[in-house]
Amino acid sequence: MHTGIILVVEAEDADDAVAEVENFNEHNAHWSDWNCHGGRWADEVPNGVMSYTDNPALFMGVVDRFKSYSTRELDRLIQDVGDISIKELVTNPKYKFRRNEPVKEMTPEERDQYFNETLAMYRAKQLLKLADGDFTERAHFYDVKEYTTQDNYLLERIKENPEKQFLVVWDYHH
């Protein structure tokens, strides 16, 4: 699957911004089997990279849109996990992935319940990673300088040094 992520960096120019993201990916995108600048999301901004001062409205519009993708992911995972407590997830055996279940003999309803239960732990882990601000395929906005999914540091840097704030569009495969 492909996922588009907007990464914000502080850089001298567009080439330096792309190089910053390449370096970041080398050490942080282990969940991705390959990734590239732009890719399927290359049309989001010209050349897949832009400075805040080039077009502040477009810059912030792209940031806000990709942050909204993260929010939708968070909401979907919250709904998928439901009201299961962490204690219940780790102590109730029905939430463990079980390979010896006779899935072929189950009714469609039993099969749906089985898969929802066995995926609950995975979904909860993904939810917690996203809620904690980890760099994952579900974090569609990421601040490389501050290692966060929050935009508050970017907004402060824009006030202090707007010409050095860049966003880079990246395509990750996972």
Q: What is the pLDDT of residues 35-44, one digit of tens each?
A: 999 999 999 9
pLDDT at 157: 98
- For residues 154 and 143, the answer to whether their CB atoms sit within 8 Å is yes
pLDDT at 172 over 90: yes
- For residues 8 and 174, the answer to whether their CB atoms sit within 8 Å is no
Q: What is the pLDDT of residues 148-158, one digit of tens each?
A: 999 999 999 99
Q: Is 60 helix (H, G, I), strand (E, B) or coil?
A: helix
